[in-house]
Structure 1
Amino acid sequence: MSLKGKRILLTGATGGIGYPLALALAAKGARLALVDRNGERQEEIREEIVRSGGDAVSIVIDLLQNQAPASAVRIAMQSLGGLDMLINNAGMIDFTLFQQQDPARIAQVMSINAVVPMQLAHAVLPQFLAQGSGRIVNIGSTFGSIGFPHHAVYSASKFAVRGFSEALRRELEDSGVEVTYIAPRATRTALNDAAAVRMMETNRIAMDDPEVVAQIIVRAIEQGRKECYIGGPESIFARLNGVLPRLVDAGLKKKTRVAHAFADRGVSINPE
Protein backbone atom coordinates (compact mmCIF):
# COMPACT_ATOMS: atom_id res chain seq x y z
CA MET A 1 0.00 0.00 0.00
CA SER A 2 1.07 3.57 -0.62
CA LEU A 3 1.39 5.81 2.43
CA LYS A 4 0.97 9.01 0.42
CA GLY A 5 -1.93 11.00 1.83
CA LYS A 6 -2.73 8.40 4.49
CA ARG A 7 -4.00 9.96 7.74
CA ILE A 8 -2.14 8.30 10.60
CA LEU A 9 -2.43 8.61 14.38
CA LEU A 10 0.98 7.77 15.89
CA THR A 11 1.39 7.40 19.65
CA GLY A 12 4.71 7.70 21.45
CA ALA A 13 5.85 10.13 18.78
CA THR A 14 8.72 11.57 20.83
CA GLY A 15 10.19 8.20 21.84
CA GLY A 16 13.25 6.39 20.53
CA ILE A 17 11.36 4.57 17.78
CA GLY A 18 8.54 7.10 17.50
CA TYR A 19 10.69 10.00 16.34
CA PRO A 20 12.40 8.30 13.36
CA LEU A 21 9.12 6.53 12.57
CA ALA A 22 7.31 9.87 12.37
CA LEU A 23 9.98 11.24 10.01
CA ALA A 24 9.90 8.10 7.86
CA LEU A 25 6.11 8.16 7.55
CA ALA A 26 6.10 11.87 6.72
CA ALA A 27 8.78 11.31 4.06
CA LYS A 28 6.39 8.83 2.42
CA GLY A 29 3.72 11.53 2.24
CA ALA A 30 1.60 10.46 5.21
CA ARG A 31 -0.35 13.06 7.18
CA LEU A 32 0.34 12.60 10.87
CA ALA A 33 -1.40 13.20 14.17
CA LEU A 34 1.44 12.93 16.68
CA VAL A 35 0.25 11.89 20.13
CA ASP A 36 2.46 12.17 23.21
CA ARG A 37 2.48 13.88 26.59
CA ASN A 38 5.82 15.63 25.93
CA GLY A 39 4.42 18.74 24.27
CA GLU A 40 7.66 20.64 23.81
CA ARG A 41 9.52 17.81 22.09
CA GLN A 42 6.49 16.87 20.06
CA GLU A 43 6.16 20.41 18.71
CA GLU A 44 9.82 20.31 17.68
CA ILE A 45 9.16 17.12 15.72
CA ARG A 46 6.02 18.57 14.13
CA GLU A 47 7.94 21.67 13.04
CA GLU A 48 10.74 19.52 11.60
CA ILE A 49 8.21 17.58 9.54
CA VAL A 50 6.52 20.74 8.28
CA ARG A 51 9.86 22.35 7.35
CA SER A 52 10.58 19.26 5.25
CA GLY A 53 7.31 19.72 3.38
CA GLY A 54 5.29 17.22 5.40
CA ASP A 55 1.95 17.52 7.19
CA ALA A 56 1.59 16.91 10.92
CA VAL A 57 -0.47 18.05 13.88
CA SER A 58 0.47 17.72 17.55
CA ILE A 59 -1.91 16.30 20.14
CA VAL A 60 -0.51 16.71 23.64
CA ILE A 61 -2.30 14.29 25.93
CA ASP A 62 -1.55 11.78 28.69
CA LEU A 63 -3.06 8.55 27.39
CA LEU A 64 -3.23 7.15 30.93
CA GLN A 65 -5.89 9.67 31.90
CA ASN A 66 -9.54 8.67 31.88
CA GLN A 67 -11.11 8.90 28.39
CA ALA A 68 -7.81 10.19 26.94
CA PRO A 69 -7.55 7.53 24.18
CA ALA A 70 -11.03 8.35 22.88
CA SER A 71 -10.25 12.07 23.07
CA ALA A 72 -7.00 11.60 21.14
CA VAL A 73 -8.83 9.77 18.35
CA ARG A 74 -11.58 12.39 18.21
CA ILE A 75 -9.09 15.27 17.98
CA ALA A 76 -7.03 13.44 15.34
CA MET A 77 -10.11 12.85 13.21
CA GLN A 78 -11.15 16.47 13.51
CA SER A 79 -7.65 17.71 12.67
CA LEU A 80 -7.03 15.40 9.69
CA GLY A 81 -10.58 14.97 8.47
CA GLY A 82 -10.62 11.32 9.42
CA LEU A 83 -8.11 8.51 9.91
CA ASP A 84 -6.74 5.68 7.79
CA MET A 85 -4.31 4.15 10.25
CA LEU A 86 -3.55 3.84 13.96
CA ILE A 87 -0.01 3.02 15.07
CA ASN A 88 0.20 2.01 18.74
CA ASN A 89 3.84 2.74 19.53
CA ALA A 90 3.79 4.31 23.01
CA GLY A 91 5.21 2.09 25.72
CA MET A 92 7.12 1.61 28.96
CA ILE A 93 9.69 -0.99 29.98
CA ASP A 94 11.22 -1.94 33.34
CA PHE A 95 14.30 -4.10 33.84
CA THR A 96 14.08 -5.26 37.44
CA LEU A 97 13.41 -8.16 39.74
CA PHE A 98 9.65 -8.62 39.89
CA GLN A 99 9.61 -8.63 43.71
CA GLN A 100 11.23 -5.18 43.65
CA GLN A 101 8.72 -3.61 41.27
CA ASP A 102 6.31 -1.03 42.66
CA PRO A 103 2.72 -2.33 42.43
CA ALA A 104 1.58 1.04 41.07
CA ARG A 105 4.20 0.79 38.34
CA ILE A 106 2.92 -2.66 37.39
CA ALA A 107 -0.52 -1.18 36.71
CA GLN A 108 1.02 1.73 34.79
CA VAL A 109 3.11 -0.48 32.49
CA MET A 110 0.21 -2.83 31.79
CA SER A 111 -2.06 0.12 31.03
CA ILE A 112 0.13 2.07 28.61
CA ASN A 113 1.49 -1.06 26.87
CA ALA A 114 -1.69 -3.13 26.60
CA VAL A 115 -4.89 -1.41 27.74
CA VAL A 116 -4.35 1.92 25.98
CA PRO A 117 -3.72 0.31 22.55
CA MET A 118 -6.99 -1.61 22.94
CA GLN A 119 -8.84 1.57 23.90
CA LEU A 120 -7.41 3.46 20.94
CA ALA A 121 -8.33 0.63 18.57
CA HIS A 122 -11.83 0.55 20.04
CA ALA A 123 -12.20 4.30 19.48
CA VAL A 124 -10.98 4.28 15.88
CA LEU A 125 -12.71 1.08 14.75
CA PRO A 126 -16.19 2.53 14.05
CA GLN A 127 -14.81 4.86 11.38
CA PHE A 128 -12.63 2.15 9.87
CA LEU A 129 -15.60 -0.21 9.63
CA ALA A 130 -17.86 2.52 8.21
CA GLN A 131 -15.37 3.33 5.44
CA GLY A 132 -14.54 -0.34 4.86
CA SER A 133 -10.81 0.23 5.22
CA GLY A 134 -8.12 1.05 7.76
CA ARG A 135 -5.12 -0.47 9.46
CA ILE A 136 -4.26 -0.91 13.13
CA VAL A 137 -0.52 -1.37 13.71
CA ASN A 138 0.51 -2.62 17.14
CA ILE A 139 4.18 -2.41 18.08
CA GLY A 140 4.92 -5.39 20.29
CA SER A 141 8.20 -7.04 21.16
CA THR A 142 10.14 -10.29 20.92
CA PHE A 143 9.36 -10.43 24.65
CA GLY A 144 5.72 -10.78 23.62
CA SER A 145 6.60 -14.31 22.49
CA ILE A 146 9.28 -15.13 25.07
CA GLY A 147 8.64 -14.50 28.77
CA PHE A 148 11.98 -12.88 29.48
CA PRO A 149 13.42 -12.88 33.02
CA HIS A 150 13.63 -9.52 34.79
CA HIS A 151 11.07 -8.14 32.33
CA ALA A 152 8.05 -9.97 33.78
CA VAL A 153 5.52 -7.13 33.57
CA TYR A 154 6.78 -5.86 30.22
CA SER A 155 6.64 -9.38 28.80
CA ALA A 156 3.11 -9.85 30.13
CA SER A 157 1.98 -6.61 28.53
CA LYS A 158 3.48 -7.50 25.15
CA PHE A 159 2.03 -11.01 25.28
CA ALA A 160 -1.32 -9.24 25.69
CA VAL A 161 -0.66 -7.02 22.67
CA ARG A 162 0.26 -10.00 20.52
CA GLY A 163 -2.85 -11.92 21.57
CA PHE A 164 -5.07 -8.89 21.04
CA SER A 165 -3.61 -8.31 17.58
CA GLU A 166 -4.12 -11.93 16.56
CA ALA A 167 -7.68 -12.10 17.87
CA LEU A 168 -8.74 -8.76 16.39
CA ARG A 169 -7.19 -9.57 13.00
CA ARG A 170 -9.25 -12.76 12.83
CA GLU A 171 -12.38 -10.97 14.03
CA LEU A 172 -12.07 -8.33 11.31
CA GLU A 173 -11.61 -10.81 8.46
CA ASP A 174 -13.50 -9.63 5.35
CA SER A 175 -14.24 -6.21 6.92
CA GLY A 176 -11.56 -4.34 4.97
CA VAL A 177 -9.83 -3.40 8.23
CA GLU A 178 -6.34 -4.90 8.66
CA VAL A 179 -4.23 -5.51 11.77
CA THR A 180 -0.43 -5.62 11.73
CA TYR A 181 1.66 -6.83 14.68
CA ILE A 182 5.34 -5.86 14.68
CA ALA A 183 7.81 -7.30 17.19
CA PRO A 184 11.17 -5.51 17.45
CA ARG A 185 14.03 -7.08 19.38
CA ALA A 186 16.11 -4.94 21.78
CA THR A 187 16.47 -1.38 20.49
CA ARG A 188 18.89 1.37 21.50
CA THR A 189 16.44 3.81 23.08
CA ALA A 190 16.14 5.70 26.35
CA LEU A 191 13.51 3.17 27.47
CA ASN A 192 16.41 0.87 28.36
CA ASP A 193 18.23 2.28 31.38
CA ALA A 194 21.99 2.01 31.96
CA ALA A 195 21.69 -1.26 33.89
CA ALA A 196 19.65 -2.85 31.09
CA VAL A 197 22.16 -1.72 28.45
CA ARG A 198 25.10 -3.10 30.45
CA MET A 199 23.26 -6.39 30.90
CA MET A 200 22.56 -6.70 27.17
CA GLU A 201 26.14 -5.85 26.29
CA THR A 202 27.47 -8.40 28.80
CA ASN A 203 25.10 -11.08 27.51
CA ARG A 204 25.85 -10.12 23.90
CA ILE A 205 22.21 -9.41 23.15
CA ALA A 206 21.81 -7.71 19.77
CA MET A 207 20.40 -4.18 19.80
CA ASP A 208 19.07 -2.33 16.76
CA ASP A 209 19.24 1.39 16.08
CA PRO A 210 15.75 2.97 16.21
CA GLU A 211 16.16 4.37 12.69
CA VAL A 212 16.61 0.83 11.36
CA VAL A 213 13.54 -0.38 13.26
CA ALA A 214 11.48 2.55 11.94
CA GLN A 215 12.35 1.69 8.34
CA ILE A 216 11.41 -1.96 8.88
CA ILE A 217 8.06 -0.90 10.35
CA VAL A 218 7.35 1.32 7.35
CA ARG A 219 8.20 -1.49 4.90
CA ALA A 220 5.98 -3.94 6.79
CA ILE A 221 3.07 -1.50 6.54
CA GLU A 222 3.66 -0.87 2.85
CA GLN A 223 3.77 -4.61 2.22
CA GLY A 224 0.52 -5.12 4.14
CA ARG A 225 2.10 -7.70 6.41
CA LYS A 226 0.05 -9.27 9.18
CA GLU A 227 3.10 -9.93 11.38
CA CYS A 228 6.73 -8.84 11.34
CA TYR A 229 9.36 -10.17 13.75
CA ILE A 230 12.60 -8.19 13.66
CA GLY A 231 15.86 -10.15 14.00
CA GLY A 232 16.39 -13.60 12.51
CA PRO A 233 17.78 -15.45 15.57
CA GLU A 234 15.22 -13.81 17.87
CA SER A 235 12.38 -14.79 15.54
CA ILE A 236 13.52 -18.42 15.57
CA PHE A 237 13.94 -18.37 19.35
CA ALA A 238 10.44 -16.93 19.76
CA ARG A 239 8.87 -19.61 17.59
CA LEU A 240 10.88 -22.31 19.38
CA ASN A 241 9.49 -21.03 22.67
CA GLY A 242 6.00 -21.72 21.36
CA VAL A 243 6.68 -25.44 20.83
CA LEU A 244 9.61 -26.29 23.13
CA PRO A 245 9.52 -23.83 26.06
CA ARG A 246 11.59 -26.09 28.35
CA LEU A 247 14.41 -25.97 25.82
CA VAL A 248 14.27 -22.19 25.92
CA ASP A 249 14.32 -22.34 29.74
CA ALA A 250 17.63 -24.15 29.54
CA GLY A 251 18.99 -21.79 26.91
CA LEU A 252 18.26 -18.74 29.06
CA LYS A 253 19.73 -20.05 32.32
CA LYS A 254 23.22 -18.63 31.89
CA LYS A 255 21.99 -15.24 30.64
CA THR A 256 19.50 -15.07 33.51
CA ARG A 257 22.22 -15.61 36.11
CA VAL A 258 24.32 -12.84 34.57
CA ALA A 259 21.35 -10.50 34.29
CA HIS A 260 20.25 -11.01 37.90
CA ALA A 261 23.08 -8.91 39.30
CA PHE A 262 22.26 -6.02 36.97
CA ALA A 263 18.52 -6.21 37.69
CA ASP A 264 18.83 -6.36 41.49
CA ARG A 265 18.35 -2.76 42.66
CA GLY A 266 18.52 -3.75 46.32
CA VAL A 267 15.11 -2.19 46.95
CA SER A 268 12.35 -3.94 48.87
CA ILE A 269 8.82 -2.99 47.80
CA ASN A 270 6.13 -3.68 50.40
CA PRO A 271 2.60 -2.80 49.26
CA GLU A 272 0.56 -0.92 51.85
Structure 2
Amino acid sequence: MMDEQTAWVLALQLVALVSIASAIMLYLLCKIKGNHESGSSELFPGGGKPVVITCCDNAMGLQLAIHLANRGFRVFAGLKNGSTSGSPDDSVPGKVIRAWQKYRESIQGQGNIVPLHLDVTREDLLHESVDIIRAHLPAGEDGIWAVVCTNGITYRGSLTQQDIAHWDALLKTNIIGVLRTARTYQSLLKNSSGRIITIGTTDNMGGGLVAYAASRFAVEGASQALREELFSAGIKVITVNPVGILPELLFCQPKLVKKPETEEVCVEINGCLEYQPQVLSDRAMEILDIALTSREPKNKYKLEYKYKWSRQLNLCQNI
Protein backbone atom coordinates (compact mmCIF):
# COMPACT_ATOMS: atom_id res chain seq x y z
CA MET A 1 0.00 0.00 0.00
CA MET A 2 1.05 3.63 -0.63
CA ASP A 3 2.16 5.41 2.53
CA GLU A 4 0.67 8.76 3.53
CA GLN A 5 3.77 10.81 2.66
CA THR A 6 3.96 9.40 -0.87
CA ALA A 7 0.27 10.10 -1.38
CA TRP A 8 0.77 13.72 -0.38
CA VAL A 9 3.69 14.09 -2.78
CA LEU A 10 1.67 12.66 -5.66
CA ALA A 11 -1.26 14.89 -4.81
CA LEU A 12 0.96 17.98 -4.84
CA GLN A 13 2.46 16.94 -8.19
CA LEU A 14 -1.03 16.46 -9.61
CA VAL A 15 -2.09 19.91 -8.39
CA ALA A 16 1.04 21.43 -9.94
CA LEU A 17 0.37 19.73 -13.28
CA VAL A 18 -3.24 20.92 -13.28
CA SER A 19 -2.10 24.49 -12.46
CA ILE A 20 0.42 24.48 -15.30
CA ALA A 21 -2.15 23.13 -17.75
CA SER A 22 -4.67 25.76 -16.63
CA ALA A 23 -2.09 28.54 -17.06
CA ILE A 24 -1.29 27.34 -20.58
CA MET A 25 -4.98 27.20 -21.49
CA LEU A 26 -5.53 30.69 -20.09
CA TYR A 27 -2.57 32.03 -22.08
CA LEU A 28 -3.88 30.46 -25.31
CA LEU A 29 -7.36 31.86 -24.73
CA CYS A 30 -5.94 35.35 -24.15
CA LYS A 31 -3.83 35.00 -27.27
CA ILE A 32 -6.85 34.00 -29.35
CA LYS A 33 -8.88 36.87 -27.90
CA GLY A 34 -6.09 39.36 -28.61
CA ASN A 35 -5.82 38.20 -32.22
CA HIS A 36 -9.58 38.47 -32.61
CA GLU A 37 -9.61 42.03 -31.28
CA SER A 38 -6.81 43.31 -33.48
CA GLY A 39 -7.28 41.09 -36.51
CA SER A 40 -4.66 38.55 -37.49
CA SER A 41 -1.42 38.99 -35.56
CA GLU A 42 0.50 38.32 -38.75
CA LEU A 43 1.43 41.63 -40.37
CA PHE A 44 2.66 42.57 -43.80
CA PRO A 45 5.89 44.61 -43.86
CA GLY A 46 5.19 48.28 -44.52
CA GLY A 47 8.41 49.30 -46.20
CA GLY A 48 7.91 50.69 -49.69
CA LYS A 49 4.19 49.97 -49.95
CA PRO A 50 2.27 52.77 -51.73
CA VAL A 51 -0.51 54.37 -49.71
CA VAL A 52 -2.81 57.22 -50.77
CA ILE A 53 -4.03 59.65 -48.10
CA THR A 54 -6.80 61.61 -49.74
CA CYS A 55 -6.43 64.80 -47.69
CA CYS A 56 -3.30 65.97 -45.87
CA ASP A 57 -4.58 69.53 -45.53
CA ASN A 58 -6.05 68.62 -42.15
CA ALA A 59 -4.47 67.60 -38.86
CA MET A 60 -5.36 63.92 -39.07
CA GLY A 61 -4.21 63.43 -42.65
CA LEU A 62 -0.91 65.25 -42.19
CA GLN A 63 -0.06 63.42 -38.97
CA LEU A 64 -0.80 60.08 -40.61
CA ALA A 65 1.24 60.93 -43.73
CA ILE A 66 4.35 61.79 -41.69
CA HIS A 67 3.90 58.72 -39.50
CA LEU A 68 3.57 56.28 -42.39
CA ALA A 69 6.43 57.85 -44.33
CA ASN A 70 8.65 57.51 -41.25
CA ARG A 71 7.66 53.86 -41.17
CA GLY A 72 8.90 53.39 -44.72
CA PHE A 73 5.68 53.65 -46.73
CA ARG A 74 5.55 55.51 -50.04
CA VAL A 75 2.84 58.04 -49.21
CA PHE A 76 0.85 59.89 -51.86
CA ALA A 77 -0.38 62.93 -49.94
CA GLY A 78 -3.48 64.69 -51.23
CA LEU A 79 -3.32 68.50 -51.10
CA LYS A 80 -6.19 70.59 -52.43
CA ASN A 81 -3.90 73.40 -53.54
CA GLY A 82 -1.00 71.18 -54.50
CA SER A 83 1.13 71.83 -57.54
CA THR A 84 0.42 69.79 -60.67
CA SER A 85 4.19 69.27 -60.92
CA GLY A 86 4.11 67.10 -57.80
CA SER A 87 5.81 69.56 -55.46
CA PRO A 88 4.23 70.66 -52.15
CA ASP A 89 2.28 73.90 -52.05
CA ASP A 90 2.96 76.83 -49.71
CA SER A 91 0.30 75.87 -47.18
CA VAL A 92 1.34 74.74 -43.70
CA PRO A 93 0.97 71.04 -44.63
CA GLY A 94 2.95 71.72 -47.80
CA LYS A 95 5.77 73.34 -45.84
CA VAL A 96 5.82 70.48 -43.33
CA ILE A 97 6.02 67.92 -46.12
CA ARG A 98 8.76 69.87 -47.91
CA ALA A 99 10.86 70.06 -44.73
CA TRP A 100 10.35 66.35 -44.14
CA GLN A 101 11.42 65.54 -47.70
CA LYS A 102 14.65 67.54 -47.36
CA TYR A 103 15.51 65.86 -44.09
CA ARG A 104 14.75 62.40 -45.51
CA GLU A 105 17.03 63.07 -48.47
CA SER A 106 19.85 64.12 -46.15
CA ILE A 107 19.74 60.83 -44.24
CA GLN A 108 18.74 58.72 -47.27
CA GLY A 109 15.73 57.30 -45.49
CA GLN A 110 13.44 54.68 -47.02
CA GLY A 111 10.05 56.36 -46.72
CA ASN A 112 8.78 58.92 -49.17
CA ILE A 113 5.99 61.47 -49.54
CA VAL A 114 4.71 62.35 -53.00
CA PRO A 115 2.33 65.34 -52.95
CA LEU A 116 -0.81 64.98 -55.07
CA HIS A 117 -2.99 67.83 -56.30
CA LEU A 118 -6.16 66.15 -55.08
CA ASP A 119 -9.70 67.16 -54.17
CA VAL A 120 -12.17 64.29 -53.77
CA THR A 121 -15.03 66.52 -54.94
CA ARG A 122 -13.38 66.91 -58.36
CA GLU A 123 -13.44 63.99 -60.79
CA ASP A 124 -10.72 65.52 -62.98
CA LEU A 125 -8.17 65.69 -60.16
CA LEU A 126 -9.02 62.17 -58.99
CA HIS A 127 -8.39 60.74 -62.45
CA GLU A 128 -5.23 62.80 -62.90
CA SER A 129 -3.93 61.47 -59.59
CA VAL A 130 -4.15 57.91 -60.92
CA ASP A 131 -1.75 58.79 -63.73
CA ILE A 132 0.63 60.52 -61.30
CA ILE A 133 0.59 57.53 -58.97
CA ARG A 134 1.30 55.10 -61.79
CA ALA A 135 4.22 57.26 -62.92
CA HIS A 136 5.77 56.97 -59.44
CA LEU A 137 5.35 53.22 -59.06
CA PRO A 138 8.34 50.93 -59.66
CA ALA A 139 8.61 49.33 -63.08
CA GLY A 140 6.28 46.39 -63.44
CA GLU A 141 3.96 47.46 -60.61
CA ASP A 142 0.45 48.78 -61.14
CA GLY A 143 -1.23 48.70 -57.76
CA ILE A 144 -1.47 50.53 -54.46
CA TRP A 145 -1.62 48.99 -51.03
CA ALA A 146 -4.19 51.25 -49.37
CA VAL A 147 -6.30 54.37 -49.66
CA VAL A 148 -7.05 56.26 -46.44
CA CYS A 149 -10.05 58.59 -46.81
CA THR A 150 -9.10 61.46 -44.50
CA ASN A 151 -11.19 64.00 -46.40
CA GLY A 152 -13.73 65.71 -44.19
CA ILE A 153 -15.29 69.01 -43.15
CA THR A 154 -17.58 69.92 -40.28
CA TYR A 155 -19.90 72.77 -39.32
CA ARG A 156 -21.13 73.16 -35.75
CA GLY A 157 -24.36 74.95 -34.90
CA SER A 158 -28.05 74.37 -34.39
CA LEU A 159 -29.92 72.99 -37.38
CA THR A 160 -32.05 76.14 -37.71
CA GLN A 161 -28.98 78.38 -37.93
CA GLN A 162 -26.99 76.40 -40.48
CA ASP A 163 -26.94 77.28 -44.15
CA ILE A 164 -28.16 74.51 -46.46
CA ALA A 165 -25.14 75.23 -48.66
CA HIS A 166 -22.98 74.04 -45.76
CA TRP A 167 -24.86 70.74 -45.71
CA ASP A 168 -24.34 70.30 -49.43
CA ALA A 169 -20.58 70.92 -49.11
CA LEU A 170 -20.33 68.66 -46.09
CA LEU A 171 -22.13 65.71 -47.70
CA LYS A 172 -20.28 66.22 -50.98
CA THR A 173 -16.93 65.98 -49.21
CA ASN A 174 -17.60 63.52 -46.40
CA ILE A 175 -19.68 60.86 -48.10
CA ILE A 176 -19.77 61.41 -51.88
CA GLY A 177 -16.01 62.02 -51.74
CA VAL A 178 -15.54 58.53 -50.26
CA LEU A 179 -17.62 56.97 -53.03
CA ARG A 180 -15.73 58.86 -55.74
CA THR A 181 -12.43 57.79 -54.17
CA ALA A 182 -13.42 54.12 -53.98
CA ARG A 183 -14.54 54.10 -57.60
CA THR A 184 -11.45 55.93 -58.89
CA TYR A 185 -8.84 53.75 -57.16
CA GLN A 186 -10.66 50.44 -57.41
CA SER A 187 -8.53 49.11 -60.27
CA LEU A 188 -5.26 50.04 -58.56
CA LEU A 189 -6.44 48.41 -55.32
CA LYS A 190 -7.64 45.28 -57.11
CA ASN A 191 -4.23 44.76 -58.70
CA SER A 192 -2.62 44.52 -55.25
CA SER A 193 -5.53 43.12 -53.19
CA GLY A 194 -5.41 46.41 -51.29
CA ARG A 195 -7.66 48.07 -48.76
CA ILE A 196 -9.73 51.20 -48.23
CA ILE A 197 -9.83 52.85 -44.81
CA THR A 198 -12.72 55.18 -44.03
CA ILE A 199 -13.49 57.46 -41.07
CA GLY A 200 -16.71 56.53 -39.30
CA THR A 201 -18.67 58.02 -36.45
CA THR A 202 -17.13 59.82 -33.50
CA ASP A 203 -18.53 59.57 -29.98
CA ASN A 204 -18.83 62.51 -27.55
CA MET A 205 -19.05 65.01 -30.41
CA GLY A 206 -21.11 67.51 -28.47
CA GLY A 207 -24.15 69.37 -29.85
CA GLY A 208 -24.67 71.11 -33.14
CA LEU A 209 -23.33 68.39 -35.42
CA VAL A 210 -26.49 66.85 -36.87
CA ALA A 211 -25.38 67.14 -40.50
CA TYR A 212 -21.85 65.98 -39.70
CA ALA A 213 -23.15 62.98 -37.76
CA ALA A 214 -25.44 62.11 -40.67
CA SER A 215 -22.49 62.12 -43.05
CA ARG A 216 -20.38 59.87 -40.82
CA PHE A 217 -23.15 57.34 -40.29
CA ALA A 218 -23.57 57.38 -44.07
CA VAL A 219 -19.86 56.60 -44.44
CA GLU A 220 -20.27 53.61 -42.12
CA GLY A 221 -23.22 52.32 -44.13
CA ALA A 222 -21.43 52.87 -47.43
CA SER A 223 -18.33 51.14 -46.07
CA GLN A 224 -20.37 48.08 -45.16
CA ALA A 225 -21.91 47.95 -48.63
CA LEU A 226 -18.51 48.49 -50.29
CA ARG A 227 -17.03 45.72 -48.13
CA GLU A 228 -19.55 43.28 -49.55
CA GLU A 229 -19.30 44.58 -53.12
CA LEU A 230 -15.49 44.59 -53.28
CA PHE A 231 -14.93 41.33 -51.44
CA SER A 232 -14.80 39.29 -54.65
CA ALA A 233 -12.13 41.68 -56.00
CA GLY A 234 -9.94 41.01 -52.95
CA ILE A 235 -10.28 44.59 -51.67
CA LYS A 236 -10.79 45.05 -47.93
CA VAL A 237 -12.80 47.95 -46.53
CA ILE A 238 -12.01 49.02 -42.97
CA THR A 239 -13.68 51.72 -40.89
CA VAL A 240 -11.91 53.51 -38.02
CA ASN A 241 -13.94 55.29 -35.36
CA PRO A 242 -12.24 58.17 -33.50
CA VAL A 243 -13.09 57.93 -29.80
CA GLY A 244 -13.53 61.15 -27.87
CA ILE A 245 -11.93 63.37 -30.53
CA LEU A 246 -13.66 66.59 -31.54
CA PRO A 247 -14.27 66.62 -35.33
CA GLU A 248 -13.03 70.22 -35.45
CA LEU A 249 -9.58 68.95 -34.44
CA LEU A 250 -9.53 66.01 -36.83
CA PHE A 251 -10.23 68.18 -39.84
CA CYS A 252 -8.74 71.54 -38.89
CA GLN A 253 -5.84 73.03 -40.81
CA PRO A 254 -2.57 72.64 -38.87
CA LYS A 255 -0.58 75.63 -37.66
CA LEU A 256 3.18 75.88 -37.35
CA VAL A 257 4.65 76.12 -33.86
CA LYS A 258 6.94 79.13 -33.48
CA LYS A 259 9.46 80.11 -30.82
CA PRO A 260 7.96 83.02 -28.82
CA GLU A 261 11.21 84.94 -28.60
CA THR A 262 12.24 84.77 -32.27
CA GLU A 263 9.09 83.82 -34.20
CA GLU A 264 11.18 81.11 -35.87
CA VAL A 265 9.43 77.85 -36.70
CA CYS A 266 10.32 75.03 -34.33
CA VAL A 267 11.92 71.93 -35.80
CA GLU A 268 11.50 68.41 -34.43
CA ILE A 269 14.32 65.91 -33.98
CA ASN A 270 13.47 64.13 -37.24
CA GLY A 271 13.77 67.36 -39.22
CA CYS A 272 10.03 67.91 -39.57
CA LEU A 273 8.56 71.33 -38.83
CA GLU A 274 6.54 71.31 -35.63
CA TYR A 275 2.85 71.92 -36.04
CA GLN A 276 -0.32 71.59 -34.03
CA PRO A 277 -2.64 70.02 -33.31
CA GLN A 278 -1.44 66.42 -33.57
CA VAL A 279 -4.65 64.73 -32.59
CA LEU A 280 -3.94 61.01 -32.69
CA SER A 281 -2.28 59.26 -29.76
CA ASP A 282 0.60 56.80 -30.11
CA ARG A 283 -1.88 54.01 -29.44
CA ALA A 284 -4.16 55.30 -32.21
CA MET A 285 -1.21 55.19 -34.60
CA GLU A 286 -0.49 51.60 -33.58
CA ILE A 287 -4.11 50.69 -34.32
CA LEU A 288 -3.89 52.35 -37.74
CA ASP A 289 -0.70 50.39 -38.39
CA ILE A 290 -2.60 47.19 -37.62
CA ALA A 291 -5.49 48.21 -39.88
CA LEU A 292 -3.02 48.90 -42.68
CA THR A 293 -0.76 45.87 -42.36
CA SER A 294 -2.76 43.04 -40.79
CA ARG A 295 -3.32 40.14 -43.18
CA GLU A 296 -6.85 39.71 -41.86
CA PRO A 297 -7.91 43.09 -40.43
CA LYS A 298 -11.13 43.64 -38.53
CA ASN A 299 -13.94 45.52 -40.23
CA LYS A 300 -13.77 48.28 -37.60
CA TYR A 301 -11.24 49.77 -35.21
CA LYS A 302 -11.46 52.46 -32.53
CA LEU A 303 -8.89 55.26 -32.38
CA GLU A 304 -8.06 56.69 -28.99
CA TYR A 305 -7.88 60.44 -28.35
CA LYS A 306 -4.63 62.20 -27.51
CA TYR A 307 -5.95 65.16 -25.50
CA LYS A 308 -8.47 65.41 -22.71
CA TRP A 309 -11.75 67.17 -23.49
CA SER A 310 -10.72 70.45 -21.83
CA ARG A 311 -7.45 70.48 -23.75
CA GLN A 312 -9.31 69.85 -27.01
CA LEU A 313 -11.64 72.78 -26.36
CA ASN A 314 -8.63 75.06 -25.80
CA LEU A 315 -7.06 73.87 -29.04
CA CYS A 316 -10.30 74.48 -30.93
CA GLN A 317 -10.44 78.05 -29.64
CA ASN A 318 -6.95 78.66 -31.05
CA ILE A 319 -7.70 77.24 -34.50
Identity %: 23
3-state SS of 1:159 partner: helix
RMSD: 2.8
Deviations 1:40-59 (A, max 9, x none): 23432333443232211111
The aligned residue for residue 139 of structure 1 is 199
CA drift of 1:35 comes to 0.3
Give me the TM-score of the superposition, normalised by structure 1.
Answer: 0.70
> Contact 1:21–1:215 at 8 Å: present in 2 too?
no
Q: Is the 8 A contact 2:52 2:75 kept in 1?
A: yes
Distance 1:192 1:15 in 2: 5
Contact map agreement 1:11 1:34 (CA 8 A) in 2: yes
Q: What does 1:121-200 align with in structure 2 at a 5 Å threshold?
A: 121-129=182-190, 131=191, 133-142=193-202, 149-187=207-245, 189=249, 191=251
Cross-structure match for 1:30: 73
Count of aligned residue pairs for this structure pair:
216
Unaligned 5+ segments in structure 1 are 194-207, 233-272
Go from structure 1 to structure 2 and tell me whether the alpha carbon gap of 1:148 and 1:166 turns closer, same or farther (over 3 Å shift). farther
Describe the shift of the 1:100–1:140 C-alpha distance in structure 2 as closer, same or farther (beyond 3 A).
same
Q: TM-score with structure 2 length normalisation?
A: 0.60
CA 1:69–1:80 in structure 2 vs 1: closer, same or farther (change >3 Å)?
same
Instruction: Indicate which of 171, 175, 179 corresponds to 1:110.
Output: 171
1:157-208 superposed Cα distances (whole Å, 9 cap, x missing partner): 1111111111111222243211111111243627479xxxxxxxxxxxxxx9
> Are 1:221 and 2:292 matched, yes or no?
yes
Asked if residue 73 in structure 1 is aligned to residue 144 in structure 2, the reply is no
Partner of 2:279: 209
Q: List runs of 5+ in structure 2 lacking aligned partners.
A: 1-43, 82-88, 254-277, 306-319
Aligned to 1:96: 157
1:147 Cα deviation from its structure 2 partner: 9.5
Quote how far apart the aligned CAs of 1:16 are.
1.2
Identify which of 42, 46, 51 aligns with 2:97. 46
- Counterpart of 2:309 in structure 1 is none
Equivalent residue number for residue 303 of structure 2: 230
> Among residues 135, 142, 145, which one is paired with 1:84 in the alignment?
145
Larger radius of gyration: 2
- Structure 1 Cα separation of the partners of residues 158 and 56 of structure 2: 29
Cα distance between partner residues in 2 of 1:192 and 1:186: 16
Q: Are the aligned partners of 2:198 and 2:238 in contact in 1 as well (CA < 8 Å)?
A: yes
